[in-house]
């Protein structure tokens, strides 16, 4: 399959997949000639990628053409679309054309339809690398588990949950922390590796390889500091009636230079969504798609999560929280210190 579509906002995972494919297909001896890295933001380079994909490789191994920020499945100009149509059937069998983009392919485009038809025919491959939303706790745990698997590591279930809580959807930091954890829990003794190397050299056995120990909860707690904090976590604390925790989370966000008014805007959007869901369910509406559309929520699957969050809560409680946020916003716009504004809004007006 010489054409590969890699898309999604998980840049770290995308890059790992790109490098893995390059390592698998490219002969390092001929890398300087047979590897091209181009930028699809430049129409000239996008057209160049199509031309190079038609060129057979020199020497051994395959030719690999990587087009980052590929335009072919997102707002593709007519001229480039015509060039893609003309070149798809001419891609050299020994060339691998990687079309990489952060956005989901636009299924309405003629170019996307053409590429996905090749996927159906087995002449192309497609992989998505989408990060879970910050409200999707289960999805974040799956991200941790999948990233560990990609890196050849194993995790205890409790360790995966702790990492998801500590890091959230920060895929690049997740990969870095997993690599550090693998060294922390499974570094083999250097002298034993040297002994094994001497012992196995005559047998032609690859030395220095050992199965890594599973990453434990204790290792995560010892090595990975902090807890992933977002405005959504602040809203959860407010809804649960824990204003002190909400203030602590706000302080953590402010320490990372998160703008105070942005925190207020995120909280207002979150609580208005809860209020919409509560009111619509009180009126008898049960269809998640209808509720999501009325509440302005793009992903209907989020409704199931929101239902669990507001279970046993009344719309009046959410109206009260919106009133508190209005007081915080007013104080901020009058020039109050952000930390004081949140403390006064969440505690003095409870």
pLDDT tens readout for residues 118-152: 999 888 999 999 888 766 778 888 899 989 988 88
Q: What is the mean pLDDT of residues 315-321?
A: 91
Band (200; pLDDT cuts 50, 70, 90): very low
Of 343, 318, 16, 340, nearest to 175 by C-alpha is 16
CATH number for 137-223 (one of 1.10.1060, 1.25.40, 1.10.8, 2.40.30): it is 1.10.8
Kindly state the tokens that stand for 288: 């998640």
Cα four-point dihedral sign 24, 182, 148, 39 = negative
Query: Could you tell me the pTM of the whole model?
Result: 0.61
Band (26; pLDDT cuts 50, 70, 90): very high
By CB neighbour count within 10 A (0-12 exposed, 13-18 middle, 19+ buried), where does 304 fall?
Answer: exposed
For domain 3-128, give the fold: Rossmann fold (3.40.50)
Q: What is the mean pLDDT of residues 55-68?
A: 92
Q: What is the mean pLDDT of residues 14-23?
A: 92
Give me the CATH code for the 231-348 domain, please.
1.20.272.10
By CB neighbour count within 10 A (0-12 exposed, 13-18 middle, 19+ buried), where does 38 fall?
Answer: buried
Residue extents of the structural domains in the chain: 3-128, 137-223, 231-348
Quick: pLDDT tens for 256-299. Answer: 788 899 899 989 988 998 999 999 888 888 888 888 888 788 77
Q: In the chain, where does DSSP find H-type helix?
A: 11-25, 31-34, 43-53, 78-87, 110-120, 137-150, 157-167, 171-186, 190-201, 217-223, 231-239, 243-255, 260-282, 288-295, 301-309, 315-333, 338-343
Write down the pLDDT at residue 305.
Answer: 82
Q: Give 112's contacts (C-beta < 8 A, 6+ positions apart).
A: 72, 73, 105, 106
pLDDT reading at 65 higher than 70: yes
């Amino acid at each position: 399959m010489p054409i590969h579509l890699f898309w999604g906002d998980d840049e770290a995972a995308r890059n790992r997949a790109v490098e893995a494919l390059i390592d698998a297909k490219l002969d390092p001896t001929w890398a300087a000639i047979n590897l091209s890295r181009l930028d699809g933001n430049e129409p000239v380079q996008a057209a160049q990628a199509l031309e190079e994909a038609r060129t057979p490789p020199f020497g051994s191994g395959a030719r690999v053409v990587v087009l980052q920020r590929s335009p072919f499945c997102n707002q593709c100009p007519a001229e480039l679309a015509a060039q893609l149509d003309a070149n798809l059937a001419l891609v050299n069998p020994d060339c691998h054309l990687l079309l990489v983009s952060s956005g989901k392919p636009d299924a309405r485009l003629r170019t996307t339809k053409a590429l996905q038809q090749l996927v159906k025919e087995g002449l192309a491959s497609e992989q998505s690398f989408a990060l879970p939303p910050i409200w999707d706790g289960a999805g974040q745990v799956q991200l941790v588990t999948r990233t560990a698997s990609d890196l050849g590591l194993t995790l205890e279930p409790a360790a995966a949950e702790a990492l998801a809580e500590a890091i959230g959807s920060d895929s690049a930091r997740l990969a870095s922390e997993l690599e550090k954890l693998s060294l922390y829990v499974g570094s083999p003794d250097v002298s034993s590796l040297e002994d094994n190397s001497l012992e196995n050299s005559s047998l032609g056995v690859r030395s220095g390889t050992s199965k890594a120990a599973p990453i434990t909860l204790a290792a995560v707690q010892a090595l990975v500091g902090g807890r992933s904090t977002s405005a959504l976590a602040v809203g959860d604390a407010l809804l649960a009636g824990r204003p002190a925790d909400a203030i602590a989370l706000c302080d953590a966000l402010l320490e990372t230079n998160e703008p105070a008014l942005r925190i207020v805007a995120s909280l207002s959007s979150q609580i208005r969504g809860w209020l919409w869901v509560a009111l619509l369910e009180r009126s008898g509406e049960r269809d998640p798609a209808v509720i999501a559309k009325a509440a302005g929520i793009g992903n209907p699957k989020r409704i199931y999560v929101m239902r669990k969050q507001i279970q046993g809560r009344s719309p009046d409680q959410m109206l009260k929280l919106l009133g508190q946020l209005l007081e915080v916003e007013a104080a901020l716009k009058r020039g109050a210190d952000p930390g004081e504004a949140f403390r006064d809004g969440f505690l003095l007006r409870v």
